């Protein structure tokens, strides 16, 4: 991989030796890997598209759906003909999709059957599972230091009382989140509610999850997880639902795509080569008040945008390509390779076979309480500065190592239950873009650099893209639970090194580590 000097400077490759962290930090082994030749990669748009399977519960009762997921290593062919060891929930990548109805409780027994060591990095893969998009209790929130070791399991409970939305569950194991997720520990979780059912938007076979992420492969098929001195893991292959640059067959009608950037470090500017708009109907926290058409969708890691694409006017036999606009040196730190400007293709093959639910309603969710929040309601204002110091990424100069060193007592903010606050997130260092995620809450983005948020950001969010030299203001209400919750950059490499801190709602909430301990052994299904 040849980097320009400009790229090397941006990546911070000139300097900054790793800093030893107290506890829980294991230095990755330096195994030499060689990137697979570009000529051995599949040509874009030759691999058929697929969606991850939906898993059915092991059992249900009056209130609860019970699942068991086993985190384990398996060998899959992501690149046709090449074997790649991966870590998946039930051994598949992405993991199985979970569908749940609002108000149904879900219990997931997460069993860690991973090997005792990462094949390249050599650390022990402890895990912690976060359901991203859920206001979970602290002990079920995937608190990074609440680890489950190989040979252990832990039951997670979710109440699913929030509005319909696209969630995802992924690993959050302290200081190894990036490696664990890059190996495949990520999957969709869709929460449905009556409002969603009532909207005439595409459903069923026309409601399609798209997990987009990038990867790089070594000649022996192993994933290459070079993090460029803790700046980011960048792949030369773009995967959608685990398939390289796939091609999907579509009908002449509208489709709803649930776009999730599952990349460790890459952000995207998605655009259709037909020049069509994509109409954003939902953000991280569910439906927008009204739909927002965009021609380019800038989206970073962990953001979810649901978009409707209409193929009605595309002649049968024609192809629409979803592109990723190449980075421009001035506005982002992504590393471009030959085919990272392509994501997937849609081949229009047939007339619409169903005219039901083929609309974009003018109004979606006019009553979301998050979107009703007003600055005058705020009882506190805080600033979070995103920066890098001594080779570590920090928030207001602190890192997760500081939280660990404090015995998990150190907090950045301590709002009372139901307090409304405005947070200014400042990325003045210019070094990188940081998609900042705040656990527990959904927030409304007030402005970016003093200007209105992007059209796709005019809905409830839990991750905000804070670009190079950007300052963003958010407003949110803290609840519904007491306790300690993480704030971090969702570049998982930054998160691990060590751009993560926490806040506490009220006092006396459940202890995120001790309130629900993992157990040893091979459990039966719950
Ligand atoms: Cu999607 Cu704390 O993470
Ligand atoms: Cu989250
Ligand atoms: Cu970051």
Q: Which ligand is in closest contact with the Cα of 162?
A: 2
Query: Residue 252, Cα to own-chain centre: how many angstroms?
Result: 30
Which domain covers residue 336, as residue numbers? 204-351
Q: How far away, in angstroms, is 170 Cα from ligand 2 center?
A: 9
Q: Indicate whether 510 belongs to any domain.
A: no
Residue with tokens 């879900």: 106
Say whether pTM exceeds 0.85. yes
CATH of the domain at 328: 2.60.40.420
The answer to whether residues 282 and 184 belong to one domain is: no
The answer to whether residues 184 and 209 belong to one domain is: no
Q: What is the pLDDT of residue 328?
A: 65
For the chain, what is the radius of gyration of the CA atoms?
Answer: 22
143, 164, 194 — which closes off a domain? 194
Backbone φ and ψ of 217, nearest 5°: -120, 145
Residue with tokens 């939305």: 165
The answer to whether residues 437 and 492 belong to one domain is: yes
Backbone φ and ψ of 160, nearest 5°: 55, 40
Q: What is the pLDDT of residue 497?
A: 95
Rounded CA-CA distance 288/147 in Å is 35
Q: How far away, in angstroms, is 30 Cα from ligand 1 center?
A: 27
Q: What is the pLDDT of residue 5?
A: 35
Q: Indicate whether 66 belongs to any domain.
A: yes
Does 494 contact ligand 1 (Cβ within 6 A)? no
Rounded CA-CA distance 383/472 in Å is 10
Closest atom of ligand 1 to 170 CA is 1
Q: Indicate whether 361 belongs to any domain.
A: no
Domain count, the chain: 3
194, 215, 232 — which closes off a domain? 194
Rounded CA-CA distance 300/263 in Å is 8
Does 304 contact ligand 1 (Cβ within 6 A)? no
Does 256 contact ligand 1 (Cβ within 6 A)? no
The two tokens of residue 445 are 């983005």
Q: What is the pLDDT of residue 298?
A: 95
Q: Indicate whether 153 belongs to any domain.
A: yes
Q: Which ligand is in closest contact with the Cα of 142?
A: 1
* Sign, CA torsion 198/201/207/212: negative
Q: Indicate whether 486 belongs to any domain.
A: yes
The answer to whether residues 304 and 278 belong to one domain is: yes
The answer to whether residues 147 and 274 belong to one domain is: no
Among 412, 410, 388, 414, smallest CA distance to 401 is for: 410
Does 172 contact ligand 1 (Cβ within 6 A)? yes
The answer to whether residues 259 and 291 belong to one domain is: yes
Among 264, 169, 289, smallest CA distance to 213 is for: 264
The answer to whether residues 151 and 34 belong to one domain is: yes
135, 167, 194 — which closes off a domain? 194
* Sign, CA torsion 273/275/281/284: positive
Q: Indicate whether 517 belongs to any domain.
A: no
Q: How far away, in angstroms, is 418 Cα from ligand 3 center?
A: 28
Q: Which ligand is in closest contact with the Cα of 392?
A: 3
The two tokens of residue 30 are 């330096």
Q: How far away, in angstroms, is 63 Cα from ligand 3 center?
A: 39
Q: How far away, in angstroms, is 142 Cα from ligand 2 center?
A: 9
SS3 assignment for 202-218: CCHHHEEEEEEEEECEE
Q: How far away, in angstroms, is 370 Cα from ligand 1 center?
A: 20
Max alpha carbon distance in the chain (Å)? Answer: 62
Neighbouring C-beta atoms of residue 46, cutoff 10 Å: 12
Q: Indicate whether 446 belongs to any domain.
A: yes
Sorted by sequence, the CB contacts under 8 Å of residue 64 that are 6+ apart come out as 104, 105, 106, 107
Rounded CA-CA distance 305/254 in Å is 16
Among 340, 200, 207, 352, smallest CA distance to 268 is for: 340
Rounded CA-CA distance 322/93 in Å is 22
Tell me how far CA of residue 93 lies from CA of 35, 61, 128, 152, 213, in angstroms: 21, 29, 17, 21, 11
The answer to whether residues 415 and 487 belong to one domain is: yes
Rounded CA-CA distance 127/130 in Å is 10
Q: Indicate whether 364 belongs to any domain.
A: no
- Please list the pLDDT of the chain residue by residue as tens digits (526 residues): 333 334 433 443 333 333 333 322 333 445 778 899 888 999 999 999 999 999 999 999 999 999 999 999 999 999 999 999 999 999 999 999 999 999 999 999 999 999 999 988 899 999 999 999 999 999 999 999 999 999 999 999 999 999 999 999 999 999 999 999 999 999 999 999 999 999 999 999 999 999 999 999 999 999 999 898 899 999 999 999 999 999 999 999 999 999 999 999 999 999 999 999 999 999 999 999 999 999 999 999 999 999 999 999 999 999 999 999 987 655 678 999 999 999 999 999 999 999 999 999 999 999 999 999 999 999 999 999 999 988 789 999 999 999 999 999 999 999 999 999 999 999 987 679 999 999 999 999 999 999 999 999 999 999 999 999 999 999 999 999 999 999 999 999 999 999 999 999 999 999 999 999 999 999 999 9
Rounded CA-CA distance 330/433 in Å is 12
The answer to whether residues 142 and 71 belong to one domain is: yes
The answer to whether residues 186 and 218 belong to one domain is: no
Query: Residue 345, Cα to own-chain centre: how many angstroms?
Result: 22
The two tokens of residue 55 are 């898993």
Rounded CA-CA distance 85/79 in Å is 12
User: Which residue lies with its CA nearest to atom 3 of ligand 1?
Assistant: 132
The answer to whether residues 123 and 43 belong to one domain is: yes
The answer to whether residues 183 and 215 belong to one domain is: no
């Amino acid at each position: 991989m040849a980097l320009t000097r400009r790229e090397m400077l941006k990546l911070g490759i000139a300097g900054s030796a790793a800093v030893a962290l107290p506890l829980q930090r294991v230095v990755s082994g330096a195994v030499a890997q060689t990137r697979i030749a570009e000529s051995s990669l599949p040509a874009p748009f030759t691999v058929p598209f697929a969606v991850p399977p939906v898993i059915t519960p092991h059992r249900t009762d009056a209130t609860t759906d019970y699942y068991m997921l086993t985190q384990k290593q398996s060998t899959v062919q992501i690149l046709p003909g090449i074997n790649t060891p991966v870590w998946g929930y039930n051994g598949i990548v992405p993991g199985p999709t979970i569908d749940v109805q609002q108000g149904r409780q879900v219990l997931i027994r997460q069993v860690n059957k991973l090997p005792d060591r990462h094949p390249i990095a050599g650390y022990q893969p402890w895990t912690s599972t976060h359901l991203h998009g859920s206001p979970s209790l602290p002990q079920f929130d995937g608190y990074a230091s609440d680890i489950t070791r190989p040979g252990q399991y832990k039951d997670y409970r979710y109440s699913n009382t929030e509005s319909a939305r696209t969630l995802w569950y992924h690993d959050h194991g302290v200081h190894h989140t990036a490696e664990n997720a890059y190996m495949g520990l990520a999957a969709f979780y869709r929460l449905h509610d009556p409002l969603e059912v009532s909207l005439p938007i595409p459903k069923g076979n026309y409601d399609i999850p798209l997990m987009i992420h990038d990867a790089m492969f070594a000649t022996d098929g192993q994933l290459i997880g070079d993090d460029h001195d803790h700046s980011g893991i960048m792949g030369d292959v773009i995967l959608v639902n685990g398939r390289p640059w796939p091609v999907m067959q579509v009908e002449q009608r509208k489709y709803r795509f649930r776009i999730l950037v599952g990349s460790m470090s890459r952000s995207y500017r998605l655009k259709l080569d037909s020049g069509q708009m994509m109409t954003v109907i939902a953000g991280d926290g569910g439906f927008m008040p009204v739909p927002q058409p965009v021609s380019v969708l800038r989206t970073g890691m962990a953001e979810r945008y649901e978009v409707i694409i209409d193929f009605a006017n595309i002649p049968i036999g024609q192809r629409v390509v979803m592109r990723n606009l190449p980075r421009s040196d001035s506005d982002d730190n992504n590393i471009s390779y030959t085919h990272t400007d392509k994501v997937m293709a849609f081949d229009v093959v047939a007339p619409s076979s169903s005219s039901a639910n083929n609309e974009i309603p003018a109004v979606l969710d006019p009553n979301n309480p998050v979107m009703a929040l007003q600055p005058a309601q705020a009882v506190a204002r805080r600033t979070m500065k995103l920066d890098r110091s001594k080779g570590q990424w920090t928030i207001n100069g602190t890192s997760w190592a500081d939280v660990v060193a404090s015995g998990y007592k150190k907090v950045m903010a301590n709002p009372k239950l139901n307090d409304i606050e405005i947070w200014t997130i400042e990325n003045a260092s210019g070094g990188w873009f940081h998609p900042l995620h705040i656990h527990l809450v959904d927030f409304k983005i007030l402005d970016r650099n003093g200007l209105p948020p992007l059209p796709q950001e005019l809905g409830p969010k839990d991750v905000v893209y804070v670009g190079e030299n950007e300052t963003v203001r958010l407003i949110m209400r803290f609840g519904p639970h007491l306790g300690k919750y993480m704030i971090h950059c969702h570049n998982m490499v930054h998160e691990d090194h060590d751009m993560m801190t926490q806040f506490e709602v009220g006092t006396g909430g459940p202890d995120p580590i001790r309130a629900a301990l993992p157990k040893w052994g091979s459990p039966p299904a719950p």
